[in-house]
Amino acid sequence: MPLLTFSSDFGNNDFLVGAVKGQLLQINPEFSIVDISHSISPFNYTHAAYVCRNAIKNFPDHTYHLILVNLFDKNPDQLLLAFHNNQYFLCVDNGLLTMVLEEKPQMVTGIHLKKEDAKNPIAFAKILGQVINQLIRGDSILKIGEPDVSYIEKKPLHPIISDTWIEGQIIFIDNFENVIVNITQKQFEENRKGRKFKIVFKHDKIIETISETYADVHEGEKLAIFNSAGYLEIAINKANAAGLLGLKGYSEKNIQSKQLVQNQLFYQTVRIRFE
């Protein structure tokens, strides 16, 4: 039974998620479709890359990953089929692919869209579902579309590193309003070098230890933890860290529109000082 994952920024309030699944099942009723998320923030590549990357790495080899996010950042003239680390990726050519992978894919082909092709989410899903069916039938990825095609690349957001500090961006605020920062445990330990550290917030609020679980602190107390994806997470036990600490997530849409509000950034950084 072919295993597919489906990620999008469609939300769950209209027909699109169901319609895409319906189209896929018309193509092959044996498709087993697993939803990753349909609540990815619109226009937010960083959020999409974080969610997709850390879900996809848990799936078996040769899973097909359908990522329909920010489909019309530009007028699309091709869809992409990539193979990387024994996984298949199918998405629009908008730069997200390299952000999810954090590198160039090992193999990529372009599925060109003709002028007469409908350009909407359901049409894209139908085309990519047919591509998956071709792969299942044994067609080579190199014979599907145009191999080694040029495509848009975007670089993932990386922390800034100094000898005495590391500064990361808030890339996601989860359902509990815990704040995820793009600093991995590996990056933290490599730059910490066994030193003490301080994470300083507004009103002189400080975190100086890394917890193993939320229960390591009393209810209402703040903590830092490395989450199940290996990223730094700022939380308050049974409370709203984002709101109480005045933290906001990264938003490409607002940065690009330059709608600046006095004394307010559209994304915030978290700096760890080593001592």
CATH number of domain containing 268: 2.40.30.90
User: Could you tell me if 108 and 181 lie in one domain?
Assistant: no
User: Could you tell me if 142 and 7 lie in one domain?
Assistant: yes
The total number of structural domains in the chain stands at: 2
User: Could you tell me if 87 and 197 lie in one domain?
Assistant: no
pLDDT at 49: 96
Residue 54's CATH number: 3.40.50.10790
**Has residue 152 been placed in a domain?**
no
CA distance 5 to 59: 9
pLDDT at 265: 41
CA distance 267 to 224: 19
**Distant-in-sequence, close-in-space partners of 222: CB < 8 Å, separation ≥ 6:** 201, 205, 207, 234, 235, 236, 241, 245
User: Could you tell me if 141 and 174 lie in one domain?
Assistant: no
CA distance 222 to 238: 10
User: Could you tell me if 84 and 11 lie in one domain?
Assistant: yes
Question: Tokens 């619109």 appear where?
Answer: 42
pLDDT at 120: 92
pLDDT at 249: 72
pLDDT at 100: 97
User: Could you tell me if 81 and 117 lie in one domain?
Assistant: yes
Which of 116, 147, 178 delimits the end of a domain? 147
Cβ count within 10 A of residue 116 = 5
By the 8 A CB rule, do 53 and 228 touch? no
**Has residue 153 been placed in a domain?**
no
Angle at 42 between CA 128 and CA 108, to 5 degrees: 35
* b (16+ CB within 10 A) / e for 76-111: bebbbbbbbeebbbbbbbbbbbbbbbeeebeebbbb
Q: Residue 236 corresponds to which amino acid?
A: I
Which of 85, 118, 147 delimits the end of a domain? 147
Contacts by 262-269, CB closer than 8 A, 24 or more apart: 267/169, 267/170, 268/169, 268/170, 269/167, 269/168, 269/169, 269/170
pLDDT at 117: 78
User: Could you tell me if 20 and 106 lie in one domain?
Assistant: yes
What residue numbers bound the domain in which 55 lies? 3-147
Q: Which of 171, 178, 156, 185 is nearest to 269 (CA)?
A: 171
pLDDT beneath 70, residues of the chain: 203, 250-267
What is the Cα 166 distance to its own chain's centre? 22
CA distance 141 to 113: 17
User: Could you tell me if 20 and 140 lie in one domain?
Assistant: yes
Which of 103, 125, 147 delimits the end of a domain? 147
**Has residue 155 been placed in a domain?**
no
